[in-house]
Structure 1
Amino acid sequence: MEQFRQIGEVVGSLNALMVFQNNLCNRKQCSLLVDMLSHGYATIAEMMKTNLKYKERNSKWKAMEQPLKELLRVYKECESYVKTSLDTRDFLAKSITLYHNSDCVHLHIHNLLSCLPAALESIELAGHVAGNDQEDMQRKKTVSAFKYNRGLNDPRLFQLMFGHSYLVSHDFCARMESVFAEDRLFILKNVRDRGSGLKISDALLPSAILLNAKDYRVRRRLGAGKQFKEIQWLGESFALRHFHAEAGAVEKEIAADIGLSHPNIMHTLCGFFDEGKKEYYLVMELMHKDLSTYIKELCGAKKRVVPFSIPAAADLMLQVARGMEYLHSRKIPHGELNPSNILIRTEGVIQAKIAGFGLDASVRRLTQSGPADSGQLSYIWHAPEVLGQEAMTEGSSVEKCDVYSFGMVCFEMLTGKVPFEDAHLQGDKMSRNIRAGERPLFPSHTPKFLTNLIKKCWHTEPGQRPSFSSICRMMRYTKRFLAMNPEYEQQEEAAPLSPLDFSEVETAFVARCVGGADKHQMVWQIPYEIFGYRIAERESETESGSDGVEETAAALVVEEKRMRPVPSMDNVATKLSTLSKSLDIKKKLAGTATARARMVRPPQSPVGRPVRINSDSKLVTRKKSRTDQES
């Protein structure tokens, strides 16, 4: 109940903030976000009112606690986003940042649509045991069972029947598709009307705009190299990449990089070029550290056995998978995915962004600087086919190499150990062992539903590795499972085993999926994917091959009999009296029944012959004798 109350407070705060929506550069996005949050709160309130009893909040609402806690976290993150958008900082800095920022839909609405199904399902489960009316409980369970019918496993049918409750109505979906582009046009118009002279839509601008700005200054150097610095500009902190190259050497790559926008990838906000000195200046979002450094800090100074709890590790795995899914949807393979190329922001909820791809690789070639993992152990992140120097001309093969690298990164997230760091073989011998199929060993307490996924990612055969779209679906459902089962909060040996391998659920989902399951999915499709996964999971839990509804209904009948209330003593006495009378009547009729039994005609065969039963309880047909025939 406390989480639900706090969600209501956040909704009230957001509605108060939107009184000043005319001050927003991203007004369309914030309006959509607040409308969806308000509608989600109203949906939860109506479900609680329909299914639950307030007096039972301390006894029967336990199943709702963790899902609502996760949903509350999402609501607070959305509130922070709107507050930041309303911040009265420098208009130009805010315009540069928000022009390239798609966090409203691809981060906050994504998280909302991922968490809401678990919250609604937890209310349904709590409603199954609410009150004392057994018939009402059974009706609710039956309705819930038929909700996850195979016949409803269609995205259009799902949207028609459940789109209103799961925030994916036609209106919301249309707005999700358009608000980002509408706000970008609004920002461009505002910048032009204010006469700043800065065309934020251009790939490269004269370097004098940046270097001659009154408030521009370099604060410190970032990392071990000389290219990256932290700068102060327009009242904000940014990361700046500075390097020398000929004019036109990387302009196409810079334009492509500026055109990217996703919460889980690093990209350029704006670029500057000095024609005389042949210097490039690329302004980017400032991050705190890379994942490799962060894991070492957590496992070293804080003396943790593992760097992250299971829910935190699952969330990080999903973020990295989403960033890679976006890159692959834009036909951009990475090729150097490792913890040093994953940057982290540690304020509040940990946010991960993938670096080291596309433009970064081109700049490294021009400046002859090595990759982030250039060291003796760089081979541990590469797929066996890369170590074997096999030719890979198709983009899909390179993408499968990224999936292998992702599996190795996830191993370090879960264990805090660099893959193969305990191995006695190094260099060429270890490379040969990796090609032969050797992989790192997980601790025994690591959940099987995560280790099974990672083992599929680093499979020796590239064709057996899942796509990042499949990985994202499995990780979203894993997060739902963890929210519904909070006993997995820590990596402990006593934690119960997951009943299913989610890769099996993914296989069943893809087999029945309407449309391409491996395509980059839109955010508004997430509730349907979770719904389809739930259907596949319920079917895999049944023993027969039917659609599962009949079995569920039969199970509910059995449970109804088991849960019938204990009769009172008055009812017991009445039933005993009735039973006694019926026994007396049966005794009186016993003689008559015996006499009638003697007169019953013996059983006949289909051809009219008498039938007798032998000692082995087999039916034996007795042929009629000649005497019988004559008579």
Structure 2
Amino acid sequence: NYLEFDDNVSDYDELEDDHNEELLESRGFMKDHCFREGSPRYAVKLLRGDLDSDTKREAALDLAIEAKFLATLSHPNVIKQRGTSGVPGHSQFFIILDKLNITLTEKRMAWREQKMKAKSGPFGLRKDRALLKTLWEERLTAAYDVARALKYLHENNIVYRDLKPDNCGFDIRNDVKVFDFGLAKELTERDRVGLDQYKASGLTGSRRYMAPEVVLCKPYGLSVDVFSFGIFLWELLAMKEPFEDYDVHKHARLVVKKGQRPMMKAYWPQYVKRLLESCWATNPRARPTFAEIYQMIKNFPELRTSSLTMTERTRMLMDRSVASLYQDAKENRST
């Protein structure tokens, strides 16, 4: 039932260096491999212990699906899976991932605080326009990285289905990574019922970012991620939660049925507004592909003239990815 849907509860614990250290120390792999010069390198994702049996069964399946996808995916903006333990689908199964420092939601709140300070300027005298420009470019760059990740997934016929800032984070190099693939699905010809339309479960994802066709349990395809990206991008630029005062009833009535969308700031560039409007179009066929979104953002004037162009950033991320693979191989040979 859509009206009972809750998108704010996680079924997983993510163990890092700052809690449950005894459990971390008890894992042989974690003890030997997950710390470099005393700093944690990885995080462990496993099921929470307080779940009821039905929820635990569903969450275990989601975690097994996530492990399956991450074992085959390789992209600079997708979280890297370093290992697994246990039997997939079992309540004790867990996966080991690269540790991220901060989620995009947390970063969005930090950006908002920085913007408030920049608007008052030093000593409250005038706006810090250089900082405001930097913050805008940082948000667009984060969106660009996420678009690159989704472009890669869609090229492999994978629909992500849960795009939101909570599922993206920054690593130690400040690169954006998409994580949490428990709701991802590979689209196959067997399930196709039309052009970019497949038989798939409805009410899948997080309500605020969910495409109308998913809420209404209609066939859907890759374009549902594009809709989510539109809401996601608006959140990064506005630096506030979309539909924050909407309960499920209001969201269903105004957003899903009547096509209401978040309000855009008057001063946002027209090319940004056009991208948002095309992404969250009610008609799935009117939405752009991520290949198109990637090119649009790449060619935004702010990013073409920034200190590091998007082409240079892409090359840098690819170089880092190759270096990481080389380092992994080197460490595996030494163990």
What TM bracket, shorter-length normalisation?
0.5 to 0.7
Residue identity opposite 1:482 in structure 2: E
SS at structure 1 position matched to 2:180: coil
CA root-mean-square deviation: 3.8
1:253 CA drift (Å): 5.6
**Structure-2 change in CA distance of 1:313 and 1:298 (3 Å):** closer
Q: Deviations over 1:113-133 (max 9, x none)?
A: xxxxxxxxxxxxxxxxxxxxx
Q: In structure 2, do the counterparts of structure 1 residues 445 and 282 end up closer, same or farther at CA, with 3 Å as the change threshold? A: same
Match of 2:299 in 1: 477
Relative to structure 1, is the Cα distance of residues 443 and 358 closer, same or farther in structure 2, using a 3 angstrom cutoff?
same
**2:208 maps to what in 1?**
380
Question: 5+ residue gaps in structure 1?
Answer: 1-216, 223-228, 362-372, 487-521, 524-631
Number of corresponding residues: 240
Q: Give distance in 2, aligned partners of 1:483 and 1:340.
A: 24
**For residue 240 of structure 1, what is the aligned residue in structure 2?**
44
The residue type paired with residue 314 of structure 1 is L
Map of 1:163-242 to 2, 5 A cutoff?
A: 219-221=17-19, 233-234=32-33, 235-236=35-36, 237-242=41-46
Aligned-partner residue type, residue 391 of structure 1: K
Give distance in 1, aligned partners of 2:107 and 2:305: 28
Question: How far apart are the structure 1 equivalents of 2:214 and 2:253?
Answer: 12
The change in CA–CA distance for 1:317 and 1:483 in structure 2 (over 3 A counts) is closer
Matched, 1:291 2:104: yes
Q: Secondary structure at the match of 1:269?
A: strand
SS in 1 for 2:116: coil
Corresponding residue SS for 1:219: coil
8 Å Cα contact 1:266-1:284 kept in structure 2: yes
The one-letter amino acid of 2:73's match is L
Residue 286 of structure 2: aligned partner: 464
Instruction: Please state if 1:429 is matched with 2:250.
Output: yes
Deviations 1:439-472 (A, max 9, x none): 1111122111112111110111110000001111
Show CA shifts across 1:136-180 (max 9, x none). Answer: xxxxxxxxxxxxxxxxxxxxxxxxxxxxxxxxxxxxxxxxxxxxx
Deviation at 1:256, TM superposition (A): 3.7
Are the aligned partners of 2:259 and 2:282 in contact in 1 as well (CA < 8 Å)?
yes
Corresponding residue of 1:260: 73
Task: Name the residue aligned to 1:354.
Answer: 178
Distance 1:475 1:300 in 2: 25
Amino acid at match of 2:302: L
Q: 1:282 aligns with which of 95, 114, 123?
A: 95
Counting only pairs closer than 5 Å after superposition, residues 297-446 of structure 1 correspond to structure 2 as 297-300=110-113, 303-304=116-117, 309-345=135-171, 347-348=172-173, 350-358=174-182, 378-387=206-215, 389-392=216-219, 397-421=220-244, 426-435=247-256, 436-446=258-268
Give runs of ≥4 in structure 1 deviating > 3 Å: 243-246, 248-253, 300-308, 358-361, 483-486
The question of whether the paired residues in 1 share the 8 Å contact of 2:159 and 2:184 is answered with no
CA distance in 2, matches of 1:256, 1:426: 33
- Determine which of 427, 443, 448 is the counterpart of 2:270: 448
Q: 2 CA distance for matches of 1:460 and 1:302? A: 32
CA contact (8 A) 1:335 1:398 kept: no
1:40-55 equivalences under 5 Å are: none
Listed as ranges, the matches of 1:12-23 within 5 Å are none
Q: Which amino acid aligns with 1:458?
A: W
CA 1:278–1:482: 2 relative to 1, 3 Å: closer
Q: Give the structure-1-normalised TM-score.
A: 0.34
Deviation at 1:274, TM superposition (A): 7.0
Counterpart-to-counterpart distance in 2, 1:308 and 1:398? 35
Tell me by how many angstroms 1:399 deviates.
Answer: 1.3
Unaligned runs of 5+ in 2: 1-14, 21-26, 50-55, 120-131, 186-203, 307-313, 316-335
Contact 1:308 1:413 in 2 (8 A): no
- C-alpha separation between the residues in 2 aligned to 1:342 and 1:418? 15
Contact 2:16 2:43 in 1 (8 A): no
Q: 1:218 to 1:429 in 2, by over 3 A?
A: closer
- Please show how residues 133-152 of structure 1 align to structure 2 within 5 Å: none
The match for 2:128 is: none
**Alpha-carbon distance in 2 for matches of 1:324, 1:484:** 21
Q: What residue identity is the alignment partner of 2:236?
A: M
One-letter identity of the residue aligned with 2:44: L
Letter in 2 for 1:257: L
Gap change, CA 1:335 and 1:288, over 3 Å in 2 = same
Conservation of the 8 A alpha-carbon contact between 1:308 and 1:414: no
Write the deviation string for residues 393-417 of structure 1: whole angstroms up to 9, x where unpaired. Answer: xxxx331111011011111111112
Cα gap change, 1:439 to 1:270, in 2 (>3 Å): same
Structure having the higher helix fraction is 1
**Partners of 1:360 and 1:400 in 2: CA distance:** 14
Contact 1:459 1:465 in 2 (8 A): yes
Q: Write the letter of the residue equivalent to 2:249.
A: D
User: Displacement, 1:281?
Assistant: 3.0
> Percent identity at matched positions?
23
* 2:177 maps to amino acid: K
1:485 to partner: Cα distance? 5.1
Give the TM-score normalised by structure 2: 0.61
The 1:484/1:279 distance shift into structure 2, 3 A limit, reads: closer
In the TM superposition, residue 252 of structure 1 has moved relative to its aligned partner by 7.0
For residues 140 and 18 of structure 2, the distance between their equivalents in structure 1, rounded to whole angstroms, comes to: 33
Whole-angstrom CA distance in 1 between matches of 2:77 and 2:293: 15
Alpha-carbon distance in 2 for matches of 1:454, 1:353: 22
- The C-alpha deviation readout for 1:20-66, integer Å capped at 9, x for no partner, is xxxxxxxxxxxxxxxxxxxxxxxxxxxxxxxxxxxxxxxxxxxxxxx
Alpha carbons of structure 1 residues 262 and 218: separation in structure 2 relative to 1, 3 Å: closer
Displacement of 1:418:
1.5
Letter in 2 for 1:356: D
Task: Report deviation, 1:476.
Answer: 1.5
- Specify the code of the residue in structure 2 equivalent to 1:341: N
Q: Matched residues in 2 for 1:289 and 1:426: separation?
A: 27
For the residue of structure 1 that corresponds to 2:73, the secondary structure is coil
Distance in 2 between the 1:467 and 1:415 partners? 23
